[in-house]
Amino acid sequence: MNKSRASAPAKVILFGEHFVVYGNPAILASINRRIVVDARTIDENRILIKSNIGVAGEYSSLGFKATEGGMEAKTTLDPLYCAAMQVLVARSKKTGIKIAISSGVPPGIGLGSSAAACVSTVAAVNSLFQKKYSRQKICKLAIESERLIHKNSSGADCYVSTFGGLMHYSKTKGFKKIQAKGRLALVIASTGVRHSTGDIVAGVKKFKDRNESLFQSLAKQAAGICVQAQSAIASGRPDELGALMNENQMILRQIGVSHYKVDDLLDICSKAGALGAKITGAGGGGAVIALAASNQDRGKIASRAEGAGYESFEVEIDRKGLVV
């Protein structure tokens, strides 16, 4: 029996969500909340997958059988089964595998949990065998698996989870690392409202189709904010960065992806001393990210959000990416 372990970080979108779909730039970062995958070979010709988020099942020649979580289990686990099978097929291996997933990332709120799970599953299963794949190869296989959930995914979530750090991304120019001056003291707070990224992206497209000139104007503003934000990160100007987050949020509100619980959280963060705060990810609920001036202020913001009944946690930028 061979055993292996891999972990990959969650991510936040600091700037540019939604508009990135239409060619605009975005700034993403991996954070120090991880998904850990343990894999081992087993004698039976089955793939068993169990996650601590309450889903489990087995894949065999008879198809899929949920052992925990009902039919939701299949939707959640199919990309991970695909991730494991891609490695087995690529390596011409026929063996059973047992996969255990331990997630420190709340699902369905825009933190890239599905991407981190795909990256760590590909890496863990791959590590059961002698010759290791490059990070680029692991990322490619993870993107293909994640597209079972997010059909039109750009691959950005998998990329930042694999390589870690702060990234500038656009469809035309791809990825470029951003070197930050100083640390970013960040808080993530969940509205508790899970969303369908696909539905929200479709809603934004409807908005664009009905308001083309307004959308193009907002897209231009969002692109300008990304340029300024990259400069503020590189030169260590957190006050300016916070103001840009607030500007970005105003644009996201205009395209209809905010939510009354998002607005409540933004108000709480602002009153607790946040330099800026905005939706991170698709919106429609999900999570809010806030920037604090110091670690002490960060703790105060997180405490105020929790006191109002919202799950929140303090985060740092993760520099390591995938760890095997």
Residue 241: phi and psi, rounded to 5, are -60, -40
* Alpha-carbon torsion angle 247, 229, 24, 255, nearest 10: -10
Question: What whole-number distance in Å separates Cα of residue 237 and Cα of residue 239?
Answer: 6
What H or E segment, with its residue span, contains residue 77?
A: helix 71-90
Question: What whole-number distance in Å separates Cα of residue 114 and Cα of residue 135?
Answer: 18
- Residue 64's identity, in one-letter code, is F
Question: What whole-number distance in Å separates Cα of residue 18 and Cα of residue 131?
Answer: 39
Catalytic site includes residue 157: yes
| CA 61 to chain CA mean position, Å | 32
What H or E segment, with its residue span, contains residue 206?
A: helix 197-210
Question: What whole-number distance in Å separates Cα of residue 94 and Cα of residue 231?
Answer: 50
| 96-103/47-51 β-pairing | parallel
CB atoms inside a 10 Å sphere around CB 41: 16
Are 51 and 101 a contacting pair, CB within 8 Å? yes
The active-site residue, picked from 38, 43, 78, 157, is: 157
Q: List active site positions.
A: 157
